[in-house]
Structure 1
Amino acid sequence: MPVSAFRTFYSLLFYLFIPLVIIRLLWRGCRAPAYLHRWGERFGFAPFLTGKAVIWVHAVSVGEVQASLPLMRALLSCYPHHTLLLTTLTPTGSAQVQKQLGANVAHCYLPYDLPDATARFLQRVQPLLGIILETELWPNLLHQCQRRKIPVILANARLSERSALGYYRLGVLTRDMLSKLAFIAAQGKADADRFITLGAPPERVQVTGNLKFELKLPPHLAAQGTSLRRQWGAQRPLWIAASTHEGEEEQILAAFKQVRKHYPTALLILVPRHPERFNRVHQLCQRQGFITQRRSEQRACAPATEIFLGDSMGELLLFFAASDVAFLGGSLVPVGGHNPLEPAALKRPVILGPHLFNFKGISHQLLEAGAATQIQTIQDLTQAVVRYLGDPQLRVKAGKAGQRVIAQNQGASSKIMQQITVLLSG
């Protein structure tokens, strides 16, 4: 069957599922009202961008937006007379764009991968070049870009074994998508090899490293973290469990009960990944008998408080800076973990669960360097937290190791910029 037939079948299925997509938007909007707005953008009704040539970058959500910042800053510096458009899929990603880049870039949601929606989006935006972060491969979007002779780079590209298997099952459709990419900037050799195995032309694939290693901390973050720590209690042992998911909080609270047997004044900073879960996690903490205070209450942390619930957006770095040790969520359940580089950059020892497939390479490097510890069970988690809280020298050693790993892996943005320059001047 020709690839055009596969793409047509895929598109028809997508159209059939649009009612369910709308129902899902409405359902998510009940918990996060931002999902109820800007639906036109999701169907390709992007703002018209006129007057300047456009470079388009796509980053799915908060993590990808954060990873894109070194590249975005390089683009702003090298192409000041172009309009930079940064698209996302989620409201939290949209908020991160506004917070980090503000009026320096244009922003809208990337449309659903429908033939008419993607064509409408590209017609309104008319980019000279598309840069898609990580592994957002959409058949109709790439087809429409090729029709309009818009080169597309897959930057910071990663492909886990699980994802590679899924793409392999799509057969000719995957090979067609990969053939339409002008360049694949892979995070590591294993990623590059998987793309080539799936059909990417080897001459278009290069290992450039991971943009996430080029994170830039706000200049006053350390001082702000020290100030927040004083508010929480300068002498209290502080442990943060960040970006937690459904099914993890119960395990973390069980470990925290054991930690408090060793450190009765310890404070747990608990930060759920998704805002729509803030209330449920707060209720869980209260049901288990913990004295819990919410960041949204905007009051000083009482000495009796046992759990501080980080129910705010954009403050995770600050919470890391104020804590002694950081556990990264999404790793006790099979979500695949979250970016461990932010606490590592702040010289905080990192604790990771067994499920790390989203950040396998980064996590392995931190674990090998002694900057992180991997745990399997609640008992392991308790022991790791107690060990780090009780040994300041171990925390310092882990913190320095994390910074070394970061310093040794920087340079991805400059390598990607070289390819962007080639494509834009060609």
Structure 2
Amino acid sequence: MTAPAPEIDEHWLEVYRQLHAHPELSYAEFDTAALVAGELRALPGWEVTTAVGGTGVVGVLSAGPGPVIWLRADMDALPVQEETGLEYASRTPGVMHACGHDMHVAALLAACARLSAEPPAGTVVAIFQPAEESGGGADAMLHDGMLERFPRPRICLGQHVGPIPAGLIVTKGGPIMAASDSIRVLLTGRGGHASTPHLAVDPLLMAASLVLRLQTLAARQAGTPMSPVLTTGALHAGTRANVIADTAEMLLSLRTFTPGSRQAMIDDITRVVRAEADAAGAPREPEIELFHSYPVTVNTAEDADRVLETFTTSGLPAVRLQNPVTGSEDFGRFATAAGCPSVFWHIGGYALHRFSEEDMARMLGEQTLPQGMPSNHSPRFAPDPEQTLPAAANAMLVAARAELTR
């Protein structure tokens, strides 16, 4: 299902390795931004602006009258300790490009180089965005005047690497990625000695019960179209074995596809958390806080169909997704603010030999991975740069050129 990737200059592979070896967290992408700005300035025709929305970089290539398109790549890494064993693995302890943003940056830079060498009529705005993982990077750039300082787009294009065969493109019209809310729950008990639990109110027991109880909320909606996903990502309580803590903190991740489903889940979470605290005799009501929220990522149907056809007629392996994925993105904020269409696609990052035909069918239909294959955010997530980078750069280039000649 994949075609041979086009050739790419070894320079961009080295840029990718350098980015991967030096990851930076959200809003701290200073060296990454400096590298991006330096690479863009070395290309003919690009006007480069730095420090947009903090550490964002924007390049503008104008080649006469024509459409304006925005191409976006995100730059930030994750607080994950890398376990890939790669020669170019992260040199920053506890920080890793575990979601492929280094690939997005290198691919967009390589596409910018090709556009610079043969500029089509129109204007390309290349956006290198900070802080996608924290949910605020796109908004930060918009609040810093993206729409006033740079040409307004007719369409926004973006892509994301994932654990599917290298070069394979998947997309669809309508919702393609879920809305996301991070939720902090602080449970307050009454601390005490581990030998006398009857004198305390243990918040860790409340939290342990909630970890299991909250899963039933999503399970009860599993039969609905685009059902929600709720995950407990962190639980913090206590400092010693013989001390019952005063508080326990839970961090939840909620993924939904409609405003109604989102509100219903938030209401249910609130109700269940409060009921658990009340049942335990907690001295204070729990605190429930939403943060790092992303909207549903929606592809304009007509434009997604056209971009998908562009890929297939250009000989690129591209298929239509049956259902949206439950990951989340803030890419859609750009098009929403600009009032223009947007198209986002996923592109494979793993060598083809790692997949059987049965694996392919399950991935595209059920969105499951072969057993043991690392997904995004895993400490072992490692795209194959020799196959993925040329394909990702070419996908962005093909889509950009087609949109500029409309």
TM-score between the two structures when normalised by the length of structure 2: 0.26
Name the structure where helix makes up a greater proportion of residues: 1
Taking structure 1 as the reference length, the TM-score comes to 0.25
Q: Which has the higher strand share?
A: 2
